[in-house]
Structure 1
Amino acid sequence: MQAVLELRDFSQKYQRRQLFKRLNLQIGRQECIAITGQNGAGKTTLLTVLAGLTNISRGQLKLAPKMRVGYMAEQLAPTGLTPRTYLHLLGEMNRVDNRYLDQQITELAYEFGLTASLEVPLKQLSRGNLQKVNFLQAILRTPDILIMDEPLTGQDGPTQMRMIHWLKDYRQKGGALILGTNNAFLIEQLATTIYELDAMRLLPVEELPQPEEKVMRLEFATTPRSLALPAALQQLALKITDGSRRVIVYANVHQSDALIEAMLKNGFSLRGLRYEVL
């Protein structure tokens, strides 16, 4: 497959310290590359290089013709602008038609539960809603290449699933996705190729992280419309902790989608999900 983005023989120093040494990376349409690594390994710096936001001292960054790049930093700096004004200004800077822009902002805000906060200044938003605005600004133009730094930070379970479903659909329609993340669930759901950034180099990870001893921990909140626990839960769950305000369910990874669907149909609200060792 022809590459839409390619980094060739990239090396970089900062104040005489070698950050990267002869890195090579390429991505084509419908691919998702996950870049993992310990804090301080340089994931964020590498992502800004791939997004064209950091100058390269040695090597070359090549994009296929007419490629639009979207970039989501790990955090969005809050200002006095409202989300609607902020997103509108970004759209105008990128010459997006105003009628399409208004419609896109409205539809995306509804999809990701941000409608009620569109007129609230960014500096007054919760961390989760600020991160939703950050996500929306990156996808606003539906770019050809999307580069994201820990996109699920601060999000509850339902929002994480909505973001993942949007990104799956984006990739299936031809988008190229590069993620800087250590989130095993996100990697398992989206990545076609995984690299670990270590000792200035990108090291290929041969397989997706699917250790047999790990299970999915799902946390559900009870709501006024919650019904009894679904009968299917007994067949799908490995362990259940049922409290007055929340239910914790452990399940095999491949059964977690069916379990979530059954719980949501019975009126429970998904509040969190992660891998754990049972």
Structure 2
Amino acid sequence: MTWSTRGLFRKSDQASPDSSVRGILLQQVSKRLGHAQVLDQINLEVKQGECAVIVGRNGSGKSTLLRILAGILLADTGSIQRTIKGSEKYAVDGLPRVPFTSREYLWEMGRIRGIRPEELRGRIRELSELLYLDTAIDQKLLLLSKGTLQKVNLIQALLAGPGGLLLLDEPLSGLDIPAQEAVVSLLGEWKDEGTCIVTACHEPLLIELLADQVIVLKKGSVLRYWNREDILQAGEPVVCIQSLAPAGEDLANDPSISHQPGVLSLDRDTSLGNAKSWLWDWKVVQQSTDDVLRMILASGGSVVSVQQEESQLHMESLLGGQHPAVHASRGGVTESVDLSSSMDGAGGEAE
């Protein structure tokens, strides 16, 4: 599903990318909370029109870094330079369950930002529809589920429109699939319009489509930096197809079939007890799906199912400092990835 937010804000409210504007630069930023060293000498540069995604396990320092960028916390040491045109917007903390309805809360947040009433009404309406807020727009925040509360939190961060700096902490967490797709589409358009986006996020959908760089944190330090080229090496999303072919036709050993462009793996599923037919499991890249389906039908086979896309971005590998791409050989055995060509000197060696 493709979403467009082009009509949400007038052109006069939109920022235009400016290559002379650096964005935001962190150098040797450290932070202690109590006796714990939460961040240790973090270096980060995000230019206007770029999206940086911060990943890491619980306690790695992601939320603290976002709060420092938002000005909620002050760094103990290091420097932060902001040369960004436009407003700073963020949804980095859980929304407080104040005794307002969603509409009342969003109205107050918009008026605090100086948005004119007639514009604010339209923005609240459009963003609420985009994120499927539905009847929750007039419900008390105290009664909302975690996912719905997250939608309200995102809307308040987006009210000011594209441009400037946008900070988001797990923006897709708790959202239904249509709302996730809408958020990713909106952020992609705002990025194209020059918004500098920094987000902590663990959903492959956002990382694959938007990330210009991924910063892997571990215990407050940068374990790895990955760039856009590294993310693209993960490849396109995978579509899973099941097909039937006459028994005895070994498709996996027929190079004209198994080696077709876009076919990642082809394996026989022996769970089917029908002796007249064999069941085959295909994994193909998204753009080759139609060609493979035509090939199956042209060869006399039949299609049993076509399942939703699966991401090839392996989050566990990413969190561990390994390359984000997973290269699976035929038969499902995972192969190692050469990291030497993808290392960024700023990231150092993995532990």
- State the TM bucket, normalised to the shorter chain: 0.7 to 0.9
Deviation, 1:28, is 1.2
Unaligned runs of 5+ in 2: 1-18, 241-261, 267-280, 291-307, 315-331, 333-351
**Superposition deviation, residue 273 in structure 1:** 6.9
Quick one: structure 1 residues 213 and 116, their matched pair in 2 at CA, closer, same or farther if it must change by over 3 Å?
closer
The 1-side partners of 2:192 and 2:236 are apart by 30
- Matches of 1:250 and 1:34, distance apart in 2: 32
Q: Residue 175 of structure 1: which of 189, 195, 200 is its match?
A: 195
Answering whether residue 33 of structure 2 is matched by residue 14 of structure 1, we say yes
Structure 2 residue 216 is the aligned partner of structure 1 residue 187: no
AA partner of residue 159 (structure 1): A
Distance across 1 between alignment mates of 2:150 and 2:211: 21
The Cα of 1:78 is off from its aligned counterpart by 2.2
Deviations along 1:155-198, one digit per CA (max 9) or x if unpaired, are: 12111111111011010111111111122222011101111012
Distance (Å, rounded) in 1 between the aligned partners of 2:205 and 2:121: 33
- Structure-2 change in CA distance of 1:32 and 1:116 (3 Å): same
Q: How far 1:75 sits from its partner (Å)?
A: 2.9
Distance change >3 Å, CA 111–CA 251, structure 1 → 2:
farther
Distance 1:250 1:51 in 2: 46
Deviation (angstroms), 1:214: 7.7
Count of residue pairs the alignment pairs up = 240
* SS of corresponding position for 2:187: helix
SS at match of 1:29: coil
Question: How far apart, CA to CA, are the structure 1 residues paired with 2:120 and 2:156?
Answer: 11
After superposition, the Cα gap between the structure-2 partners of 1:93 and 1:150, relative to the gap in structure 1 and judged at 3 Å, is same
Shift in alpha-carbon separation, 1:96–1:78, aligned structure 2, 3 A: same
Choose 7-16 or 86-95, whichever is displaced more: 7-16
Distance 1:3 1:134, change over 3 A: same
1:197 aligns with 2:217: yes
- How far, CA to CA, are the matches of 2:66 and 2:288 in structure 1? 31
Q: Which residue of 1 aligns with 2:251?
A: none
Could you say which residue in structure 1 is the equivalent of 2:123? Answer: 104
CA RMSD after TM alignment: 3.2
1:34 matched to 2:53: yes
Match among 24, 29, 44 for residue 5 of structure 1? 24
Q: Which runs of 5+ in 1 are unaligned?
A: 218-234, 240-248, 259-271
1-structure distance, mates of 2:239, 2:169: 23
The 8 Å contact of residues 61 and 219 in structure 2, kept in 1 or not, is answered as no
The partner residue of 1:144 within 150, 164, 188 is 164
Cα offset, 1:209, TM superposition: 7.0
Counterparts in 2 of 1:73-84, with a 5 A limit?
A: 73=92, 75-84=94-103
Residues 183, 257 of structure 1: alpha-carbon distance in 2 compared, 3 angstrom cutoff:
farther
Matched residue type, 1:147: L
**Higher relative contact order by CA 8 Å / sep ≥ 6: 1 or 2?**
1
Which deviations, in whole Å up to 9, do the C-alpha atoms of 1:183-219 show, x marking residues without a partner? 22220111011110124322312511754798468xx
Q: In percent, how many aligned pairs have the same letter?
A: 29
1:228-267 equivalences in 2 (<5 Å): 252=284, 254-255=286-287
State the SS of the aligned residue for 1:50. Answer: helix
Secondary structure in 2 matching 1:118: helix
Structure 2 counterpart of 1:128: 147
Equivalent position of 1:208 in the other structure: 231
CA–CA distance in 2 between the matches of 1:19 and 1:5?
21
1:95 pairs with 2:118: no
Structure 1 stretch displaced more, 144-153 or 13-22: 13-22
Q: Assess, with a 3 A threshold, how the Cα gap between structure 1 residues 141 and 135 changes in structure 2: closer, same or farther.
A: same
Deviations 1:142-165 (A, max 9, x none): 251111111111112111111111
1:89 is displaced (CA, Å) by 0.7
Relative to the length of structure 2, the TM-score reads: 0.61
Give the match for residue 174 of structure 2.
Answer: 154
SS at the partner of 2:149? helix
Residue 225 of structure 2 aligns with an amino acid whose one-letter code is: P
SS in structure 2 at match of 1:133: helix
CA distance in structure 2 between the aligned counterparts of 1:137 and 1:250, rounded to whole angstroms: 43
Does residue 1:23 correspond to 2:46, yes or no?
A: no
* Matched-pair contact (CA < 8 Å) for 2:238–2:286: no
Do the aligned residues in 2 keep the contact of 1:150 with 1:180 (CA within 8 Å)?
A: yes
Q: What secondary structure sits across from 1:100 in the alignment?
A: helix
Q: Is the 8 A contact 2:24 2:84 kept in 1?
A: no
- Equivalent position of 1:45 in the other structure: 64
1:224 matched to which residue of 2? Answer: none
